[in-house]
Amino acid sequence: MKLINGTELSNKLNEENRIEVLKFKRKPKLQIYQVGDDFSSNKYIKYKQKKAKDLGIEFELLRFKNNVLEEVVIEQINKSNNDDSVTAIIVQLPIPKHINQINIIKAIDPIKDADGFTPVAMGETVLGLPINPPATPKGIMKLIEGEKINLIGSDVVIIGRSNIVGKPLANMLINKQATVTICNTKTNNLDTHIKNAEIIIAAAGSPNLINKNNIGHNQIVIDVGSNYVNGKYCGDANFDEIKNEVSLITPVPGGVGPMTIWALFDNVIQLYKLQNKNNT
């Protein structure tokens, strides 16, 4: 068993980005929209703020009360779209149910979409032409590249069909000539799909989903799960049960998570360069 160390790789890539930002004529600026006061969101936003500072990227948080009207948020997004000082926009999820998440995401100018969630970014991801693909899939692909894992013809099983991970990641892998099966927790014969895969990417949010009863031998496991069990942070794979059966595995924490943050800020930098083609 070998750990795929996302922390180590992300540190190297972040340092490269920090040096690149120093060469820009002005600092890129990231705006984060937050609706309400979700505890987890507050934690993630503080981490992003710290990472922005480390990279030399300006950071601005726009907070709205939980009962804000959808049109008020969209109006502000339109202002940010037209503000040349704003490089990139993120809407911190989740948002309250009275606001249509799709409408909010569609309001973001694709050239300022750091998360890669707009229909344009998703469509370009399918076509293999993305400037700003969704951050977690982008981070996963960079991990795979870093480990020199051969994707051509490989049997890859993704467990999870979300717009954030499963769907865009499947298309990114297909564009690399992998053979991809998308499953979910309701998939018939899920254990068989898991056992027969060469590469397993677990993004279901279901602890102990990958375990000693369904793991094969010498497989690669990329664990995207984010769960709390008995006060302990864990992924979708039972790490202790399967670690001696697999050839490569991402730990949780320290695997995909740091790479997602790298990818998010790398998107900010790529958007800045696109917006300033002749003035970087």
Q: How many CB atoms lie within 10 A of CB 138?
A: 24
Give the model's pLDDT for residue 129: 86
Mean pLDDT of 95-112: 97
Alpha-carbon distance 9 to 106, whole Å?
32
Mean pLDDT of 117-146: 94
Give the model's pLDDT for residue 27: 97
**Are 26-111 and 135-258 in the same CATH fold?**
yes
Q: What is the pLDDT of residues 11-23, one digit of tens each?
A: 999 999 999 999 9
Q: Is 54 a catalytic residue?
A: no
26-111 — its CATH code? 3.40.50.10860
Provide the CATH topology of domain 135-258: Rossmann fold (3.40.50)
User: Could you say which of 31, 92, 219, 270 is catalytic?
Assistant: 92
Q: Is 48 a catalytic residue?
A: yes
Give the model's pLDDT for residue 107: 98
Query: In the predicted model, what is the mean pLDDT of the chain?
Result: 96
Give the model's pLDDT for residue 278: 66
Mean pLDDT of 78-107: 97
Mean pLDDT of 86-91: 98
User: Could you say which of 48, 51, 138, 167 is catalytic?
Assistant: 48
Q: Which residues pair with 2 in a beta bridge?
A: 248
Q: Is 115 a catalytic residue?
A: yes
User: Could you say which of 113, 115, 236, 266 is catalytic?
Assistant: 115
Q: Helix 256-275 and helix 135-146: axis angle, to 10°?
A: 110
Is 70 exceeded by the pLDDT of residue 152? yes
Give the model's pLDDT for residue 231: 82
Domain ranges of the chain: 26-111, 135-258
Is 60 exceeded by the pLDDT of residue 280? no
Give the model's pLDDT for residue 177: 98
